[in-house]
Amino acid sequence: MNIAYKTRSFYPDELRLLKTLKTQKEKETSSKIKFYHFLIAGLLGAGLTYVTTIIPDSFWTFLLGTIAVFAFAFIVFVPYEIYKQKNRHKLFLRQLSATIEKGTVDTCIVNTKRIAIAPEYEDESDLYIIGLNDNEVLYLWDTEYNLNKKFPCLDFEIYEDSFFKLIGRQIYPLSEKIQPVKIDKKAKWNFMKTYGASGHLEVEKINFDELLQKYNNCA
């Protein structure tokens, strides 16, 4: 089961954030790698190649030859990487401009009374379990490791995926931060090995207390 999104206009701080982000990205258009870097790499590669042909075979021949190969590889591969980076940058700016011009964002408003956190055990990130009603919970993974600044809170909005990717934030808090119920991280890890990992923003039909008991039984 998936959460439902509704369209609303930007809040002033969201629009301010988007415009600030656009200004920052517009300043990043030029590459830090200049033409003279390729000239230096070419001269270095040619010079070291020549040196390896006039000295006897030794460790230095191998070392200088390896450096020459890397210098030529820089000339061949870096321009293509710069080209891909510029295309990604242009696409991001177009998406950002289109979003600002549209002036709206899709969000899902969540009002809850109970939230639990299952902290990261290895590298799977923190998991928040949000009670939607008596028999439904929402799973929210902190994949960007930035939710704990103002979250968890009992009232918040979840951004849809494309907007989340633009600003790097999944949540817009509507109330003060609270202390959640804490699940032992080893119990979480054992639970995942037994029952599998829940999906990000997945809604499951299960009682909040029953689910927490299942986690605690895996401690």
Structural domain count of the chain: 2
8 vs 143, higher pLDDT: 8
- Alpha carbon of 15 to those of 87, 101, 102, 119: distances in Å? 25, 10, 11, 32
Choose the final residue of a domain: 63, 87, 102: 102
Residue 61 has pLDDT above 60, yes or no: yes
Q: What range defines the domain where residue 204 resides?
A: 109-216
Find the range with the poorest average confidence among 56-65, 157-166, 174-183: 56-65
Task: Look at residue 197 and tell me if it is in a domain.
Answer: yes
Find the range with the poorest average confidence among 13-22, 47-56, 103-112, 159-168: 47-56
Task: Look at residue 6 and tell me if it is in a domain.
Answer: no
pLDDT of 97: 93
For 69-108, write each residue's pLDDT tens digit: 998 888 888 888 888 888 888 888 999 999 999 999 999 9
Residue 186 pLDDT level (bands cut at 50, 70, 90): very high
Task: Look at residue 211 and tell me if it is in a domain.
Answer: yes
Choose the final residue of a domain: 74, 102, 130: 102
pLDDT of 57: 82
Whole-structure pTM over 0.85, yes or no? no
- Alpha carbon of 126 to those of 144, 191, 206: distances in Å? 10, 14, 20
Task: Look at residue 156 and tell me if it is in a domain.
Answer: yes
Assess whether 201 and 152 both reside in one domain: yes
Assess whether 66 and 125 both reside in one domain: no
- CA angle, corner 86, sides to 23 and 161, nearest 5? 65
131 vs 6: CA distance, rounded Å: 20
Assess whether 123 and 204 both reside in one domain: yes
Assess whether 49 and 98 both reside in one domain: yes
Task: Look at residue 10 and tell me if it is in a domain.
Answer: no
Between helices 59-102 and 12-26, what is the axis angle to 10°?
140
Omega prior to 152 cis, within 30 of 0: yes
Choose the final residue of a domain: 73, 102, 131: 102
Task: Look at residue 199 and tell me if it is in a domain.
Answer: yes
Task: Look at residue 22 and tell me if it is in a domain.
Answer: no
Assess whether 114 and 182 both reside in one domain: yes
Assess whether 118 and 98 both reside in one domain: no
Average pLDDT, the chain: 90
Assess whether 148 and 190 both reside in one domain: yes
Task: Look at residue 16 and tell me if it is in a domain.
Answer: no
116 vs 127: CA distance, rounded Å: 8
For 112-150, write each residue's pLDDT tens digit: 999 999 999 988 899 999 999 889 999 999 988 888 788
Residue 29 pLDDT level (bands cut at 50, 70, 90): low
Assess whether 114 and 212 both reside in one domain: yes
